[in-house]
Structure 1
Amino acid sequence: MIDPIQIIERYYPTDTLGYRILLTHSQQVAELALEVVRQHPELACDERFVYEGAMLHDIGIYLTDAPIDSVAPPADTTAQPEILTTVTLGNGDYLARYARRYLGRSEYWIYIYLANKEQIEDPDNIPLGTEIKIPTPQSVGIIGNEETDLAEAKRLTRDYYSHTAH
């Protein structure tokens, strides 16, 4: 049995944005793949094998060596979208779960709250069915330096709780 995260960590330094993006993407693909496997027991798939394959499906992306003329021109990075996706909160959902999934750390929940504070009165008590926007890391100031990013998220969280009646 292999540990896909250990393999990813061999090639991607854990304190980089590339690592967090790959890990988040790989976890999302693995979740979807396992959901399909579980919906189709007639396939008799090895869940562990599917998980490992899904987690590692893009690991070599940074080592690709395509001829330069086959590569698409670089995207315009000056106009990055501010919203990554939208989600509808279900039973048991909370902002920290979505922060971990889309922004890389559960402590970044404050950024999701701030992007949605018009429709979220209390981030600790959000009604089921509330649709929220997940901001891109860049749009909320996550720069890829984990120590700096985490310190800023904690500061924002302290500020929020110091100004509310919680």
Structure 2
Amino acid sequence: MTQELLAQAQEKLSIYMQALSDTQYSAMPSPTLSLNQRGTIAGAAILQKHHIRLQPTLFEQNKTYFLEQVLPHELAHLIAHRFYGKVSPHGREWQHIMEGVFKRPAIRTHQLDISRLGLKRFSYACSCGEVALSIRRHNKVVNKQQSYICRTCRQTLAFVAEK
């Protein structure tokens, strides 16, 4: 199944690369692809290696979304880096590429169902309610390396239970 997913992603990537041919980004070389992104991140652009990593389980469960949104999202990061240098990750250059070149909404984060990934989550709370943190973030709290603040009420999140 992994090889089939990779082949679908490669095929779609070549279509996006073709779309660049009539733009100022026509000299963009095609990046390499792999299905080895871990955790809940849908994809990652590895700027220094000109490489895109995709999360295989989420990809398999959400093929259309990955091919139509995640792949151009990560490719836009590589293009912005190559043509503009060090810029804000989701700044105006990236947004221009997403909306102007790929005709896709400039969405920063996915809202995919991650419950089937089998990742251990930890429940934290504030006055707004509960928030699930990853084991990595939980360990940072336990080891007193980091605390997390609710984006809405600005309270420090407090540990409730393991999920």
Q: Which structure carries more helix by proportion?
A: 1
- Relative to the length of structure 2, the TM-score reads 0.24
Q: Which structure carries more strand by proportion?
A: 2
- Relative to the length of structure 1, the TM-score reads 0.24
